[in-house]
Structure 1
């Protein structure tokens, strides 16, 4: 197997395992064996163990008390919880960074939106998730809050495990929202853009809840607002 090697062997193993998990090549419940994985990737045991520990923090690998390692099972409940957490962090980052956006930022967001749509049309959920995530990350980066960006990246990697559970029709909600947000930003209406970004998460969460659990009798959770 060949792949681009990041700066360290541990980072290379993390990158490869994350890709295999998010793409479904390593399905939920797959037991991860250090020696077998090290042999397959052509590395020693140490970077494999370090990579597994990092992916455990990201929520992609479960480590049982008996030290058994397996790809995390993503339940419907966990999927909704991840959406809730992601909405809080992403919306806060958007609000904090939107006033700092330049024309170059908006052009880059437009480019990521195009990549997002093209990846979805091609059925590549991994690439779509990356491009769609970058759409909001551009704004968070403009806020200058690196810690928040790190937290968003961490939750997003976990949330991408929910992609197979979500119907393709739900992505339409995100596409339409992104288009609306770009239109608002192009006219300089940052307040409307922020409100639309929040509404995107509210709508997506409500639709995901119905898709995952069926119609319910209790109200959809609102996205908390951070000061």
Structure 2
């Protein structure tokens, strides 16, 4: 069976002071979302038009992703997307559950209401991105939301550990959820999570986070 054609990556919309980092972020999100397929080799000149940039920043970004273990260099051809096994993904999800669930539950008692409300625009962006089927924007907003939430616990090392685990993960089923019109349900959980946190409902937070991370497991099983 021929591989499913993936939607093109969104244009970056022009240079900004952190232009190189922006290219890295977009390519990383495309890898996590499964828009760049495991085992496939991609060249910088071929990817550049899909991002609306030249080949040089794409090549530099891919070299940065080599350091993160997301792609490997294929001499004279480009970069091969590294495969991640189901066992590895399950291990990442297990560690995330051990960290994210109790930490987020603890925020029901400690987080400032104003700090929680400050995350609502990101939650809304996640919902909007899901409705539009914009997987890159969805991945980026989701990452920013969860890391911003965990940062309220005041442990920078914990945030970096979760950032690394999320970068290593793959959500192969996102495209299928978009096509089935089901991504919105997972997206809405971010707003639900904020509401139970603001209600100081620790049990509710535990239930939402457990359900939410369970959806993540289904997303990478869908490939």
Residues 150 and 159 of structure 1, relative CA distance in 2, 3 Å threshold: same
Residues 192 and 110 of structure 1, relative CA distance in 2, 3 Å threshold: farther
Residues 12 and 176 of structure 1, relative CA distance in 2, 3 Å threshold: closer
The alpha carbon displacement at 1:35 in A equals 9.1
Pick from 144, 148, 159: which aligns with 1:149?
159
Name which of structure 1's ranges 19-28 and 129-138 shifts more when overlaid on structure 2.
19-28
The alignment partner of 2:80 has SS state of strand
- Structure 2 spans left out of the alignment, 5+ residues: 1-10
C-alpha offsets along residues 29-51 of structure 1, whole Å, 9 cap, x if unaligned? 3335579989x73649xx946x4
The alignment partner of 2:119 has SS state of helix
Pick from 181, 195, 209: which aligns with 2:206?
195
Pick from 128, 140, 143: which aligns with 1:130?
140
The alpha carbon displacement at 1:119 in A equals 0.7
Residues 94 and 59 of structure 1, relative CA distance in 2, 3 Å threshold: farther
- Equivalent position of 2:192 in the other structure: 180
Q: Which has the higher contact order (CA 8 A, sep 6+)?
A: 2
- Matched residues in 2 for 1:2 and 1:206: separation? 30
Pick from 41, 57, 67: which aligns with 2:54?
41
C-alpha offsets along residues 10-57 of structure 1, whole Å, 9 cap, x if unaligned? 64653454355456664433335579989x73649xx946x4453134
Alignment of 1:29-178 (within 5 A): 29-32=39-42, 41=54, 43=56, 48=59, 51-63=61-73, 69-74=79-84, 76-164=86-174, 167-168=177-178, 171-178=183-190
Number of residue pairs matched?
Answer: 208
Larger radius of gyration: 1
- Structure 1 spans left out of the alignment, 5+ residues: 214-227
* TM-score normalised by length of structure 1: 0.65
* TM-score normalised by length of structure 2: 0.66
- Equivalent position of 1:221 in the other structure: none
Residues 7 and 100 of structure 1, relative CA distance in 2, 3 Å threshold: farther
- Matched residues in 1 for 2:110 and 2:213: separation? 24
Residues 89 and 163 of structure 1, relative CA distance in 2, 3 Å threshold: farther
